[in-house]
């Protein structure tokens, strides 16, 4: 019986790259895997067929020969006959991450985990910069054994189960896969006489006190990286990093938007009508803000250069003050009478142009 085309078996086109080829093989192999199709000889045959196709197409030289001469050229070159000679190696390479092996070899020293510390700052601290100390619980290298995990005077010995590789090959039916060594858990060594302070782990828990310099202009979401201040690595590996995550607390007066600061400034309606001067706070002290006559609520006044210089550079931002005209409360009878007399002089739209335009718009809306 003539063999099927290898590309057809894997459902791919000629010229497919190695990554997509592996994905296609993985998809077909998982579909017809014997464990998923017990006692199904047809599925087993298709599984072997897919493996043979992948073995040839994943090898650049064999693939070139196959593309030129077909099955006959590949069989003549390698003498592989049935074509399933290297099945275990191919299967382990593609499915190693599923079955815990993948032929990665022993782990050896590994980098420590990165850590995160949330740092709350006031707006003033974030804008001007500050220095502070933080306490971080972490894993540090054991000083007694220098991170080896073995009692001083002794040393780890090679694992006899895996021969120091950290991996063992397990036979599952007619194929084999590599798995992490159950005896040494991938380290490749065994500690027969463990260090007492760290119980053979090579690391101990400790709370470190670290100095953090916060640059001027940071904002919520910015991170400060302290290299090598994370957890110590296993088996003498390098330490991870510590990331200080900045969070700027809400301010009672100012709101920050990028490089600019915003604040609301309440003023009584007499100053709004006649004009005047208001004392406005900034992060550098107080300044006087001149208010022109007939100022409306919501008007923005800009104080240039009174904002923030951002940590990534650029021009200093501005302080924008939004005026809010406040309606007087707790008036006496005399004050109310004076307002009624004042109101009587305000007939006509020229004193309240916005109000007049609004009512005209309402009338037109209702009429339409």
pLDDT tens, position by position, 102-156: 333 445 678 889 999 999 999 999 999 999 999 999 999 999 998 888 899 888 8
**Residues in contact with 51: Cβ distance below 8 Å, sequence separation at least 6, in sequence order:** 25, 29, 84, 87, 90, 91
Asked if residue 108 is part of any domain, the answer here is no
Provide the residue range defining the domain that includes 242: 115-248
State yes or no: pLDDT of 87 exceeds 80: no
Asked if residue 47 is part of any domain, the answer here is yes
271 and 243 within one domain: no
239 and 300 within one domain: no
Please give the average per-residue pLDDT across 159-165, as a whole number: 85
Domain end among 248, 265, 287 = 248
Number of domains in the chain: 3
180 and 81 within one domain: no
Asked if residue 110 is part of any domain, the answer here is no
Q: Are 316 and 308 in contact (CB under 8 A)?
A: yes
Q: Compute the distance between CA of residue 15 and CA of residue 138 in angstroms, rounded to an integer.
A: 51
| Average per-residue pLDDT for the chain | 85
Question: For position 175, what pLDDT does the model report?
Answer: 64
Q: Are 94 and 170 in contact (CB under 8 A)?
A: no
pLDDT (tens digit per residue) in 60-84:
888 888 888 788 777 765 544 444 4
pTM: predicted TM-score of the whole model, two decimal places:
0.60
Q: Compute the distance between CA of residue 337 and CA of residue 184 in angstroms, rounded to an integer.
A: 93
Q: Are strands 203-214 and 189-190 parallel, antiparallel or unpaired?
A: unpaired
């Amino acid at each position: 019986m003539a063999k099927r085309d290898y590309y057809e078996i894997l459902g791919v086109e000629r010229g497919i790259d190695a990554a997509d080829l592996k994905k296609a093989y993985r998809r077909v192999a998982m579909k017809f895997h014997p464990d998923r199709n017990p006692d199904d000889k047809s599925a087993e045959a298709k599984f072997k067929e897919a493996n043979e196709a992948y073995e040839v197409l994943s090898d650049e030289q064999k693939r070139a020969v196959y593309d030129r001469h077909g099955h006959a050229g590949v069989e003549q070159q390698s003498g592989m006959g049935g074509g399933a000679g290297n099945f275990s190696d191919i299967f382990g390479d593609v499915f190693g991450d599923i079955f815990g092996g993948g032929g990665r070899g022993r782990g050896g020293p590994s980098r420590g985990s990165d850590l995160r510390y949330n740092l709350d700052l006031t707006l003033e601290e974030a804008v001007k910069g500050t220095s502070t100390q933080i306490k971080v619980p972490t894993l540090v290298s054991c000083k007694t054994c220098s991170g080896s995990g073995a009692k001083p005077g002794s040393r780890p010995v090679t694992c006899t189960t895996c021969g120091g590789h950290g991996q063992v090959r397990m036979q599952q039916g007619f194929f084999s896969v590599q798995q992490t060594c159950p005896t040494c858990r991938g380290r490749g060594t065994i500690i027969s006489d463990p260090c007492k302070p760290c119980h053979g782990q090579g690391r101990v828990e400790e709370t470190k006190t670290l100095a953090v310099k916060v640059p001027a202009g940071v904002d919520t979401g910015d991170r400060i990286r302290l290299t090598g201040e994370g957890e110590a690595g296993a088996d003498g590996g390098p330490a991870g990093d510590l990331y200080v995550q900045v969070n700027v607390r809400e301010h009672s007066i100012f709101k920050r938007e990028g490089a600019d600061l915003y604040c609301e400034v309440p003023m009584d309606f007499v100053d709004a009508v006649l004009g005047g001067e208001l004392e406005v706070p900034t992060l550098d002290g107080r300044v006087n803000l001149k208010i022109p006559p007939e100022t409306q609520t919501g008007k923005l006044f800009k104080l240039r250069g009174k904002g923030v210089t951002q940590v990534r550079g650029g021009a200093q931002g501005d302080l924008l003050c939004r005026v809010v005209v406040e309606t007087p409360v707790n008036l006496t009878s005399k004050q109310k009478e004076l307002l009624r007399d004042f109101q009587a002089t305000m007939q006509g739209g020229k004193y309240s142009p916005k109000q007049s335009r609004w009512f005209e718009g309402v009338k037109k809306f209702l009429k339409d």
